[in-house]
Structure 1
Amino acid sequence: MGIFRRIKTITMAEINGLLDGIEDPIAMLNEYSREMEQEIAKGQKALARQIFVEKKQEALISETQTLVDKRTRQAKLAIEKGEEAIAKLAVQEKLTHEKQLAVYQEQYDAVKAQTKILLEKLDELRETFNQLQQKKILLASRANVAQSMKQIQKATVSFQKDTIARGVARAEERILLMEAEVQAGSQFSAPLAQFDATYQTFIDDEELNREIEKLTKEKVNI
């Protein structure tokens, strides 16, 4: 690949990479895929032209063979009739067409060989393209994983060890404080309950005097 072709490939890869929204390595693979698709399209057009030439050569051979057969019959007929001049003319044209037929056949064989080579090259190109497509999927996956790992590593490196330690210590202090608050609450709940019970059983003087007065009246009535 020449320097200008490499520059073109890199430039096209960058442009198409922006359009495709993918990383540079995958953009390069996509650009190569596009180039191979274009080459395959060119190969298919060339193969179509080659097949067209081959068919025309076949038709030319068939037409020339028909003329050879026709002049052969005319020559035989003229010989049978004793028409020597006509026989010579028919034989002369027969030989001329036979020489043309040999040339056409040789050309046809060369065209057929070229068609075979072109077809093989086109098949190889398609196979390479298919392999590239499969490899591109694998490489795209690897590139995504590598990019993700790179981002994770970058994020990990951005944190300092001391910062993390201080954060853990603050979290631990916060948890200890929460546990202390819960424990303090549970300790105060029982004395308050006992105080409430004591308060409920406390009898003041007024209540005591009323009860004595009540009992005194009941005794008198008895």
Structure 2
Amino acid sequence: MGIFKRLKTITMAEINGLLDGIEDPIAMLNEYSREMEQEIVKGQKSLARQIFVEKKQAALISETKALVDKRTRQAKLAIEQGDEAMAKLAVQEKLNHDRQLQLYEEQYESIKGQTQILIEKLDELKETYNQMQQKKILLASRANVAQSMKQIQKATVSFQTDDIARGVARAEERILMMEAVVQAGTQFATPLAQFEAANSSFVSDEELNKEIEKLKYEKVAVL
């Protein structure tokens, strides 16, 4: 089991590494922006439908109020005319409209509350989007800097500084050897020159005796 677990871990690590290499942070930020823009569009459409329902409910309330007022006038007119049956019918319809009006007004308040929630949620979404846009600019700048630094690091590594350092050390050793050879040649050249000078000034006994005999002969010849 331990071997299979390690193989799974290694495989997942390789897959995640490939995914990390594929993922472009700037492209990811742009994709998040597009997704949030789509959410804002959806929110705006939902808010538009909600506002339409709210206005429609408000219109229904206005119509019901108008009916209540109308049945009230009819009931009063029937009472004035002594038409009790018509007055009862008008009052009955008025009461029905009153109950409908109360229900419509309660629904309207609920709809208005939902509309307000949608407006607040949409405002929050827009604020989040604006903050993300600002953050995206900063993150894009940071990503560009990081990418540049990564390229510089890759370039530095590709120079293989260790090999260069070893090459410089070898060149330095060769120069030191050349200097040593020159220095050694200078030290050996001086005694040799002195020896040659000493040999050049050396006179053998034979040469000396011949020269003396020659001078004696020249003296006798002069006498």
Q: Cα distance, 1:158 vs. partner? A: 2.1
Task: State the partner residue of 1:99.
Answer: 99
TM-score (norm 2): 0.63
The equivalences for 1:195-214 within 5 A come to none
Q: Report the Cα distance in structure 2 between the residues aligned to 1:68 and 1:27, rounded to whole angstroms.
A: 61
Q: Cα distance, 1:137 vs. partner? A: 0.6
Q: Cα distance, 1:92 vs. partner? A: 0.1
- SS of the aligned residue for 1:111 comes to helix
Q: Cα distance, 1:107 vs. partner? A: 1.0
Q: Cα distance, 1:154 vs. partner? A: 1.5
Q: Cα distance, 1:29 vs. partner? A: 1.4
**Number of residue pairs matched by the alignment:** 151
Matched residue type, 1:81: Q
Unaligned runs of 5+ in 2: 1-18, 176-223
Q: Report the Cα distance in structure 1 between the residues aligned to 2:82 and 2:88, rounded to whole angstroms.
A: 11
* 1:50 aligns to 2:60 (yes or no): no
Task: State the partner residue of 2:73.
Answer: 73
Q: Report the Cα distance in structure 1 between the residues aligned to 2:56 and 2:167, rounded to whole angstroms.
A: 87
Task: State the partner residue of 1:32.
Answer: 32
Q: Report the Cα distance in structure 1 between the residues aligned to 2:24 and 2:81, rounded to whole angstroms.
A: 85
Q: Cα distance, 1:27 vs. partner? A: 1.5
Percent identity over paired residues: 77
Q: Cα distance, 1:166 vs. partner? A: 4.9
Matched residue type, 1:66: A
Task: State the partner residue of 2:114.
Answer: 114
Task: State the partner residue of 1:200.
Answer: none
- SS of the aligned residue for 1:82 comes to coil
Task: State the partner residue of 1:60.
Answer: 60
- List structure 1 runs of 4+ shifted beyond 3 angstroms: 164-170
Q: Report the Cα distance in structure 2 between the residues aligned to 1:167 and 1:157, rounded to whole angstroms.
A: 18
Matched residue type, 1:163: I
Q: Cα distance, 1:161 vs. partner? A: 4.0
Task: State the partner residue of 2:125.
Answer: 125
Q: Report the Cα distance in structure 1 between the residues aligned to 2:57 and 2:124, rounded to whole angstroms.
A: 27
Q: Report the Cα distance in structure 1 between the residues aligned to 2:165 and 2:98, rounded to whole angstroms.
A: 96
Unaligned runs of 5+ in 1: 1-13, 174-222
Q: Report the Cα distance in structure 1 between the residues aligned to 2:163 and 2:114, rounded to whole angstroms.
A: 74
Q: Cα distance, 1:167 vs. partner? A: 6.9
Task: State the partner residue of 2:164.
Answer: 163
Task: State the partner residue of 2:142.
Answer: 142
Q: Report the Cα distance in structure 2 between the residues aligned to 1:167 and 1:65, rounded to whole angstroms.
A: 100
Q: Report the Cα distance in structure 2 between the residues aligned to 1:167 and 1:119, rounded to whole angstroms.
A: 71
Matched residue type, 2:107: Q
